[in-house]
Amino acid sequence: MSLTQADILRALEKVKLPDGASLAASGRMTGIVINDGKVICAITIEAAEAGAMEPVRATAEAAIRALPGVRQALVGLTADKAPSQRPAAPAGAPQARATSKAAALPGVKHIIAVASGKGGVGKSTTSCNLALGLAALGLKVGILDADIYGPSQPRLLGLRGKPRLVGPRMLEPMERYGIKVMSIGFLVEEDAAMIWRGPMVISAITQMLREVAWGELDVLVVDMPPGTGDAQLTMAQQTPLAGAVIVSTPQDLALIDARRGIAMFQKVDVPILGVIENMSSFCCPNCGHISPIFGHGGARAEATKMNVPFLGEIPLDMQIRETSDEGRPIVATEPDSPHAQIYKAIASSVWAALSGGAASRAAPRIVIE
Ligand code: ADP
């Protein structure tokens, strides 16, 4: 007989909250997804409860795992509350640095988000080639594909298979072209991920951050879910980000979303490392004529207007599309091509900002009430 949500809740009846109430009856369980013996769900908490609720999370996970038919159980804690709803810390109060989740990433020096205000602008292609560009500088690099709505790093990097378990809860990242890779696409069917709601997304992503044996990394690149909704905002807030890179195409409509993306990170005090204009212009492979299909220069102008760095322009080019779709990203497979040079130059600027410049803060200054 297949598992149901009722079975999960029944298993959680015996799990008690710190005040003695039953977790199942508390209304805190959210986003229960059951897929082929894998159960993923989240417990809604206030950010300040994170420490006290960790044992509850662990007990809940053990209770679910003990159910017949469960092969894997992942329970996350989610503080799914917009920061504007939180009371401000009193003036002069110490600013807490990140949550316990941040502490759970030892060895990872800088985590950066690659984000876009909307889908389809080339965020994943750019994340992938940026990560490879950073690796080409001799850095130890990982990429976390957090684009739950369309995990594409496995395809972009030509990776198949499942990550190995290297402990009761730790997954080993896959490796390709010298970088470590974890994607929600390795763990669940794409359509299962599609139905997740905000808290589920956050829970799954924070688990991918914390429960992957990343080892020593100079930079972990997070390919964020597109958009600026609650899930993205909470993620930006709960991940110890050293900075964010915004990818946009040049046309006005995309730039409106890019502006929202910049504002979202600024709201949670994550430094903007810069804006990249993707699909900046098209060079005809036959006659060499350059056409600004989506306009040109809009992202640079927007960056200037918003007083954030502009990192570079990547043309709309068949070779970038083909190498991406074939799992042979251009920076890895044609490292001396002009397009790979552009990605590498952007990677150098990002690294310069991370290692010394404006974005050298290793953790966001999240105020926890
Ligand atoms: P997003 O992550 O923003 O949804 P993707 O990176 O998946 O976007 O890119 C969407 C499509 O556009 C893919 O087919 C990809 O190969 C293509 N693409 C992205 N950037 C470029 C580029 N600079 N030139 C040509 N094709 C590109």
Distance 253 CA to ligand 1 centre (A): 17
- Which among 249, 321, 323 is the best mutation to test ligand 1's pocket, defined by most ligand atoms within 8 Å of the CB? 321
Does 280 contact ligand 1 (Cβ within 6 A)?
Answer: no
Distance 77 CA to ligand 1 centre (A): 33
Q: What's the token pair of residue 226?
A: 């597109």
CATH number, domain at 180?
3.40.50.300
- Residue of minimum CA distance from atom 16 in ligand 1: 321
Considering the domain boundaries, does residue 296 fall inside one?
Answer: yes
Considering the domain boundaries, does residue 90 fall inside one?
Answer: no
Q: Are 67 and 204 in the same domain?
A: no
Does 327 contact ligand 1 (Cβ within 6 A)?
Answer: no
Does 228 contact ligand 1 (Cβ within 6 A)?
Answer: no
Considering the domain boundaries, does residue 354 fall inside one?
Answer: yes
Distance 150 CA to ligand 1 centre (A): 12
User: 134: closest CA among 44, 52, 242, 18?
Assistant: 242
Q: Are 131 and 236 in the same domain?
A: yes
Q: What's the token pair of residue 351?
A: 């690294």
pLDDT of 187 strictly over 50: yes
pLDDT tens-digit series, residues 41-75:
778 877 678 778 888 988 999 999 999 999 888 78
Q: Are 262 and 315 in the same domain?
A: yes
Q: Say if residues 314 and 320 touch (Cβ distance below 8 Å).
A: yes
Indicate the average pLDDT of the chain.
82
User: Which domain does 11 fall in, by range?
Assistant: 5-79
Query: Which of 25-34, 118-127, 148-157, 177-186 is predicted with the least confidence, judged by mean pLDDT?
Result: 25-34
Query: Which of 81-95, 142-156, 241-255, 312-326 is predicted with the least confidence, judged by mean pLDDT?
Result: 81-95
Q: Are 218 and 339 in the same domain?
A: yes
Number of domains in the chain: 2
pTM of the model: 0.72
Q: Are 141 and 50 in the same domain?
A: no
CATH number, domain at 44?
3.30.300.130
- Percent of the chain exceeding pLDDT 70 equals 84
Distance 120 CA to ligand 1 centre (A): 6
Considering the domain boundaries, does residue 101 fall inside one?
Answer: no
Considering the domain boundaries, does residue 308 fall inside one?
Answer: yes
Q: What is the Cα–Cα distance from 125 to 157, expressed in whole angstroms?
A: 10
Q: Say if residues 120 and 107 touch (Cβ distance below 8 Å).
A: no
Q: What is the mean pLDDT of residues 274-298?
A: 81
